[in-house]
Amino acid sequence: MNKIVAMAAKDIHILFRDKLGFFFTIFFPLMMAIFFGAMFAGLSRGPASIPIALVDADRTAGSARFVGRLEAAGGLAIERIPGDQALEQVRRGQTAVLVTLRPGFGAALDNPFVATPEVEMSVDPTQFAAAGMVRGVLLEAAGAELQAFMSDPSRMSVTNEQNRRLIEEFSPPSEARDDLLNVLDQIPRIPVLIDEAGLGSVTTGATGGFGPPLEIEQTQVQAQRRGPTNSYATSFAQAMLWTLIGGSVSFSMSIAIERSRGTLMRLLVAPITARQLLAAKGLACLGATLFTSSALITLGITVFGVTPTSYPLLALALLSGSICFCGIMMVLSVIGRTEQAAAGVGWGIALPFTMLGGGMVPLFLMPEWMQTLGNISPMKWTLIAYEGAIWRGFTLSEMLLPCAVLVAIGVLAFSIGATRLRWDTG
């Protein structure tokens, strides 16, 4: 163990002596974090169409018609999902906004005199701009529904008949009851009267007197307290990902360098086993990436006001991410046998996976198929884990999936790399 630690310490020592390696593992990610953080802080994000998840808890013809209207309105990319998965999806950042049509929604649409249709909006706190737009689209669709109702005397008559029966059944005969029934009789004539009075072109909304066409109850999925530091929360998660990539490429190069400089020969002649050598490389990579990613987030917390939602989960995410990239480092060192090849292969593989995994352009701005494809990218899982602890407010059980994926990738890649790595000096 003493020897493994000695080898790992030597590697870390050398990594931090190497200015280029140091640049790629710390300064480059940090600059990205500050740059993108500052950039997104000043931008209100307005993607062409906002992805929302929709739960139809009502399931009536009326609610279906309303969803049809939302879809036709454009501006929203609606994914219909079962209610039990809905909240998780927002919390994991898969959708910015969750809209739930409450039971009774359809009935209220068909009888606006008695009830107002109700929806619930659960919003990811980083997505306020998007939420505002979704609100607008919902209100517009509900307004259109109401207008359609009001301009269709036959639908109103049906409703009127229902209401008349209700009143007659439940209310004992009285003066008030008679007045109510009289008013009811007049309602279907409202559009006709508006027309006759020559007001048809003036009152286009036709909702006057009925209050808002839709009641929206908006909740945040988790406590919101970030405000302007939001964008740094995202960009520091990305920076931590970059430091892992830089670290793993540097360490995969370090094996090639040991080979080309002949020090690998000395290691192989020393009384240590190949297994100890592997363990040392893994440990060094783990230690260095843990250190650099922790250093970055510490800086994010102390200087840029990033406030992780859970420190224990952050530690878990940091560890899992580093384990994953130690495995990747092993695979890279098998593929790149010379220093230049290791660097070329390392960055050549890392960059596309990073783009796919949301390390450059945030995931939610990507087309859906690309986001799905992103699931094969370890970088995406790393970001999910980091963001889960930094601002998505994951619970332990939510954190387990990305962390398990990361550790599994790490262990698998490490063992593939370790068995394929040829400890020769040529």
Instruction: Please give the residue ranges that form the binding site for other proteins (CB under 8 A).
Output: 2-3, 6-7, 10, 13-14, 17-18, 261-263, 265-273, 425
Task: Please say whether the beta carbons of 54 and 62 come within 8 A.
Answer: no
Report in angstroms how near the CB of residue 3 gets to other proteins at its nearest. Answer: 5
Question: Which C-beta is closer to other proteins: that of 24 or that of 236?
Answer: 24
Neighbouring CB atoms inside 10 A of 111's CB total: 21
Bridge-partner residues for 128, per DSSP? none
CB closer to other proteins out of 159 and 333: 333
Least Å from the CB of residue 423 to other proteins: 10
Distance CA 365, CA 362 (A): 6
Looking at the Cβ atoms of 49 and 340, the one nearer to other proteins is 340
What is the rounded CA–CA span in Å between residue 301 and residue 242? 18
Closer residue to other proteins (CB): 89 or 425: 425
Task: Give the Cα separation of 249 and 264 in Å (integer).
Answer: 18
Q: How far is the CB of 1 from other proteins (least distance, A)?
A: 12
User: CA-CA distance, 191 to 376, in Å (whole number)?
Assistant: 58
47 token code pair:
């993607």
Residue 39 CB, nearest approach to other proteins (Å) = 36
Distance CA 53, CA 33 (A): 30
* CB-nearer residue toward other proteins: 152 or 424: 424
Q: Among 244, 249, 225, which Cα is nearest to 293's?
A: 244
Q: How far is the CB of 291 from other proteins (least distance, A)?
A: 18
| Closer by beta carbon to other proteins, 10 or else 155 | 10
Min CB(5)–other proteins separation in Å = 9
Radius of gyration (C-alpha) of the chain in whole angstroms: 30
User: What minimum distance in Å lies between the beta carbon of 273 and other proteins?
Assistant: 5
Nearer to other proteins, 225 or 261 (CB): 261
Q: Minimum CB separation from other proteins for residue 269, in Å?
A: 5
- Residue 400: burial class (beta carbons within 10 Å; 0-12, 13-18, 19+): middle
Q: Decide whether 168 or 424 has the Cβ nearer to other proteins.
A: 424
Which parts of 212-288 are beta strand (E)? Answer: 215-220
